[in-house]
Amino acid sequence: NGFCELYGKMNRERGLPVDDIQNKAFLRTAYDFMKRTGQGDCLIVKDDAGHLLGGIMLLYQGKTVRYFKGASDPAYRHVPILHLAIWEGIKKTKALGFHYFDFWGYNHFVNENDQVFYINRFKKGFGGSYSFYPKKMYFLFKPMMYRLYRMLTGFKKRWER
């Protein structure tokens, strides 16, 4: 519950759109799934007083662990909270016998003005290799029907103007 609130707080601080009810439901569903099936884990970081500083959600898939979600308190931005959580996650999942830790996402097209550039640098610091996934591909099984559909939606858009 605290992780869900922290996740919303972090995203608001970043200027991202936040739907607390939807986020909480989504994160709760993911957490319940992980606990029920044993297909993941959550690691949290607290200070000495028990104040939640951050945490991560990890998903297990075959021999791979995937970093799913993470959040850290914006008030402690100067402290590498998620670094600790990820490091502990790597140690724990290695001890469980997993072979790969997937940080799930690396954007090759950002510059130094973007926060993602520094996230990439953090991920790259662990070494390893990149996995490239193909772009989505759409196949038209009924091209004539698709052309008719596109034509009708075009007429509809013009009619609504």
In this predicted structure, what is the pLDDT of residue 17? Answer: 80
**Which residues of the chain, if any, have pLDDT below 70?**
none
What residue spans of the chain are helical by DSSP H?
A: 2-13, 20-37, 81-95, 115-124, 143-160
In this predicted structure, what is the pLDDT of residue 53? Answer: 94
In this predicted structure, what is the pLDDT of residue 85? Answer: 92
18: left (phi over 0), alpha (psi -120 to 50) or beta: beta
Residues 6+ apart with CB under 8 A from 16: none
- Tokens 């008030």 map to which residue? 75
Alpha-carbon distance values, 57 to 18, 32, 82, 135, 136 (Å): 19, 12, 11, 26, 26
In this predicted structure, what is the pLDDT of residue 140? Answer: 80
Residues 6+ apart with CB under 8 A from 103: 67, 123, 126
